[in-house]
Chains A and B, each alone.
Chain A
Amino acid sequence: MLAQIAGCAGNGDGLDASGRPNSSGDGSGPLTPDFASIQANVFTPICTQCHVGANAPQGLRLDAANSYGALVGVASSEQPGQLRVRPGDPANSYLIQKLEGRASVGARMPLGQPALPDATIQVIREWIASGATRAAAIGATAFAVETVSAAPASLAIAMTRPADASLVNSTTVMLQKVDTRSGEPADVPARAAISPVNDSLLVLTPDQALAAGQYRLTLRGTGASALADWNAAVLDGDGDGSAGGDYVQTLVIGGAP
């Protein structure tokens, strides 16, 4: 340990400003009012010094894989009546209040570090004011499915941005069990809803725990009642980069074929 402490800091060769290998392609560059830029210039190099991993303060993980889902449309754990990022409303976004030091609870962020420059906070304000979208971060403007996690008790469907809650129901989010011999699907009674802690996450809860087998998940991106986001952008279900098309994925529960 003595040898380590006596050593010098790293020379940064081959690393980006966040200390990650240059090949990691974190998108760092000039700070601009889009999520990818804010992640690369603020959240990753500054906030993740504490807000990372299972011990992240307040459970708020701000690494690239988790920050959007933990911030946008998610209630603050310190002030449950406020959203951490309220799209379109930077003044009432708890993130801005914490960065500006006017939050009603706790110290100004980043804790133990100098306050962010006003210009940096202004860029984050602009991102929130323009809707706090994640589009630039995923390289697409489509409202689409990011990942699906399946378990017998529930399915979690991560979207690129919050869905219009009024359109989330059993006709837009459907689950069917596939008979492996005949290939015929049969509807599985289930309740679809937006996660109470993350409105970019759809949760599909079967009436009964799913038995082992093959299932088909469908999110409707066609028809009059297609799934859409709050700006009425219809689901890009077929992944062609433009709105429209059903999202269909086959899932296996319990290791069945």
Chain B
Amino acid sequence: MITRRLMGGMAAIAMSLAAMAVRAEPYLAVQQGYKCVACHVNPTGGGMRNAFGNAFAQNVLPAHRIDVGDDSWTGAINRYVMLGGDVRADWTATEIPHQQQTNEFDVSDARVYLNVEPIPGRLSVYLDERVAPGSATNLEAYVRYWTADQAWFVQAGRMYLPYGLRLEDDSAFTRTVPGINMTTSDTGIEVGWESPHWSAQLALSNGSAGGPENDSGKQVTGQAAYVEPRWRVGLASSLNQSDAGDRSTYGLFGGLRTGPVAWLAEADLVVDDGFPEGTRDMVSALLGADWAVIRGHNLKLTAEWFDPDRDVDNDEQTRWSAVYEYSPIQFLQLRGGARFYDGIPQNDLQNRTLYFLELHGFF
């Protein structure tokens, strides 16, 4: 009964706060004026959705809601245990100049999340396990402790590092170039602070991007974001010291809501000492617009830019994406789109075009 009441309350809040149909990702937060922690167990977003996030996914995101009665899914098995997951099944066609077109079906990602709170609201043990493709792989495993006022937390274990816009698309330049994304978790400790308008985290980790630590150098990663209902801005930075060369990363990111359109932007500078010729300065940038056309429909347009070496001319790359997202019912989404890569003419891969369809189920 308690669960039902909680679910009903959450649904009512979600319905009242949200008018546009959107799906999880940073643009959702921008469109609704939320912080990541509003819908996700992890204060920096991504992974398991909390009770509010599940209510939102059922009552606001889909074009139509299939009535399952009063006992809707909240993710909570009981007061102490929550379960969640994501499965993405894709069909992808790729065109590369001078090569035959290829296409394939694939399960690009399947994940199961488990959150146990032996002390509800204060102490949690969280697991993020990728079960496909390939055999099970742990991506996150940490213990988190919240202070009684829910303002501070500290977590230790394997985790995604806090840096910039946590886009679902890990192939975006702003995710691959800094190298901090949702395929490369790291092991360490993180301290975070949440206030009505601020969200800040600082992490100390091995800096081995999922690999074994083989030197004494460590990675320090931090970000701070100021959030207003209509806009937000944040700074992020990371310094990874390693015997093979240090890597410094600096990011500026933000979001703005203009009517039904949520704008996202991020720019990153990466200074890496580990190249054969010495230091290389790289820059990546993203500008995206998400237009909530009608309830359950979202059009995503993204422009990206990447300079692999500031000291070398004529080597820049761009990527343009157009993606349509349709959420017909709760916990289900159909996505289709195209990504157009443009790079130097002598590299065919930098000039490929990718078309995809995706069925995304989550809970």
> How many interface residues does chain B have, given as a range?
35 or more
The one of B137, B180, B276, B307 in contact with A106, judged by C-beta atoms closer than 8 angstroms, is B137
Interface residue ranges of B276-309 to A (CB < 8 Å): 276-277, 283, 285-287, 303-305, 307-309
The one of B207, B286, B314 in contact with A11, judged by C-beta atoms closer than 8 angstroms, is B314
> Nearest residue in B to A20 (C-beta to C-beta)?
B312
Which residues does chain A contribute within 8 Å of B102, judged by CB atoms? Answer: 114-115
Which residues does chain B contribute within 8 Å of A152, judged by CB atoms? Answer: none
> How many interface residues does chain A have, given as a range?
35 or more
Quick check: A4 and B349 within 8 Å, CB to CB? no
For residue B195, CB closer than 8 A to chain A, the reply is no
Q: How many Cβ-Cβ contacts under 8 Å join chain A to chain B?
A: 182
> Nearest residue in B to A108 (C-beta to C-beta)?
B133
CA distance A19 to B209 in the complex (A): 25
Quick check: B267 and A1 within 8 Å, CB to CB? yes
The one of A9, A77, A105, A111 in contact with B316, judged by C-beta atoms closer than 8 angstroms, is A9
Quick check: B318 and A8 within 8 Å, CB to CB? yes
Quick check: B211 and A57 within 8 Å, CB to CB? yes
Quick check: A78 and B137 within 8 Å, CB to CB? yes
CA distance A113 to B350 in the complex (A): 10
Secondary structure call for the A interface: loop
CA distance A66 to B244 in the complex (A): 9
A20-B312, A103-B134 as given contacts; A52 in contact with B343, CB under 8 Å: no
Quick check: B287 and A5 within 8 Å, CB to CB? yes
Quick check: B312 and A105 within 8 Å, CB to CB? no
> Nearest residue in A to B214 (C-beta to C-beta)?
A197
Quick check: A54 and B305 within 8 Å, CB to CB? no
Among B303, B304, B344, the one with the most A-chain Cβ atoms within 10 Å of its Cβ is B344
Quick check: B285 and A112 within 8 Å, CB to CB? no
For residue A65, CB closer than 8 A to chain B, the reply is yes
Quick check: B274 and A14 within 8 Å, CB to CB? no
Which residues does chain A contribute within 8 Å of B35, judged by CB atoms? Answer: none
- Distance in angstroms from A123 CB to nearest chain B CB is 16
- Distance in angstroms from B87 CB to nearest chain A CB is 14
Per CB-CB distance, the 10 closest pairs between chain A and chain B, nearest first, are A59-B211, A55-B179, A12-B344, A112-B171, A54-B247, A10-B314, A58-B211, A65-B276, A54-B240, A53-B272
Which A positions have Cβ atoms within 8 angstroms of B?
1-2, 4-21, 24, 45-46, 49-50, 52-61, 63-66, 77-78, 101, 103-108, 111-115, 117, 197
Q: 18 A–B contact pairs at CB < 8 A?
A: A5-B304, A7-B305, A9-B343, A9-B350, A17-B347, A19-B312, A49-B176, A52-B272, A53-B240, A54-B244, A54-B274, A56-B179, A56-B209, A57-B179, A63-B275, A103-B134, A105-B137, A114-B352
